[in-house]
Amino acid sequence: MTASSLPAWLERLGGVAFVVLVAILPLVLPGRFWPHVLAITMIYAILALGQNVITGWCGLLTLGQAAFLGLGAYTSALLTMNFGVPWPLALLAAGVVAGTCGALLAIPCLRVRSDFLSLVTIAFNQMFFVIANNWMGLTRGPMGLPSVPPMSLFGFDMRSQQAQFWTILGVAALIYFGVSRLTSGPIGRAWSMIRDDEIAARAAGVQVTFYKVLAFGVGCFICGLAGSLYAHFLRLVSPDMFNLEESLLMMQMAILGGLASVPGSALGAALMVLIPEALRSSEPWLITLRPGIAGALLVALMIWRPNGLLGAAGPERGPLHAVRGLVRTASLKLAMARTR
């Protein structure tokens, strides 16, 4: 029996049990190091899920998600520091600002092919980094924004590590539940149709442009929420936290865990964060091998499991399908050219 054939109630029960298990970890893990690492892992799991919405379900290659992480972080930090906005409202505003910017960026970007789309998003990431690094009046440039207020709920500051951990876990669980419901419904099916065969999706009446913009908006909204958590958990916002390397890390997490897989996003984040930290704590020199190991692992996945560890497997989603799709598209264009 595969995971997809499990009853819905059993899948939900498993998800609740997993959240409860993670929630008790701060009570049993000694010290402060591993609870801190687990909190960072949950934030990256949210980021990987936002990346997966755009790339995994809708099939759009974007490599600029760190910019939307930064938009969320700066929005939330500035609203709480300069205007006294309560953190829950700042969290929502961070998601709305990042999601709106993502949707607006998608409108002109979708006029280019997928390979050029990645270049446009990389350029946007670099533009954001340059602006954040030089707008001294707003972002304080390279000095960043120190002493960001901690997360707060109902007037209580979440200053303790356990309170922060549980707050991040609660937000992550809500986001994962929402994305799971969204991708299992009509919107998720439309995204999957666009990813698998855009021409067939248009022929079936799917509003391709609308759903692509929606995917960008939802994915960037999720990254904005993660940015707010990131800023108030670390109590610092700096332009160096949102460079191109962060965008590549999010893509690696989404691919490694599994494209178009909700639990795969969490798995990819866990593998890319927990394993390097374990290596750092045991043999510090092993951390220098992380880029090479990650690259080799991704190359192996592209050959044997092109959709990741928990992504949908099978020849219909593998490299042969991609080749057949290219041949079919080229044949269709050639036939259309001959009729002109």
Q: 42-51, 251-260, 270-279: which has the highest mean pLDDT?
A: 42-51
Give the pair of three-digit tokens for residue 33.
């190091």
Digit-coded pLDDT (tens) for 292-308: 767 777 778 777 887 78
Under 8 Å between Cβ of 277 and 52? no
Query: Given this model, what pLDDT does residue 6 score?
Result: 53
Digit-coded pLDDT (tens) for 41-52: 999 999 999 999
User: Residues near 56 by Cβ (< 8 Å), separated by ≥ 6?
Assistant: 254, 258, 259, 260, 261, 311
Boundaries of every domain in the chain: 3-298
Question: What is the pLDDT averaged over residues 12-35?
Answer: 88
Q: Which residues are paired to 283 by β-bridges?
A: none
Across all residues in the chain, what is the average pLDDT?
Answer: 86
Q: Which of 198, 188, 204 minimizes the C-alpha distance to 325?
A: 198
CA pair distance 15, 307, nearest whole angstrom: 22
Query: Given this model, what pLDDT does residue 8 score?
Result: 65
279, pLDDT greater than 80: no
Give the pair of three-digit tokens for residue 150.
């901690």
Query: Given this model, what pLDDT does residue 332 score?
Result: 45
Taking the mean position of all CA atoms in its chain, how far away is CA 320? 27
Digit-coded pLDDT (tens) for 79-117: 999 999 999 999 999 999 999 999 999 998 888 876 788
User: Residues near 18 by Cβ (< 8 Å), separated by ≥ 6?
Assistant: none
Choices 1.10.3470, 2.60.120, 3.40.50, 3.90.1720: CATH for 3-298: 1.10.3470
Predicted structure pTM score: 0.88
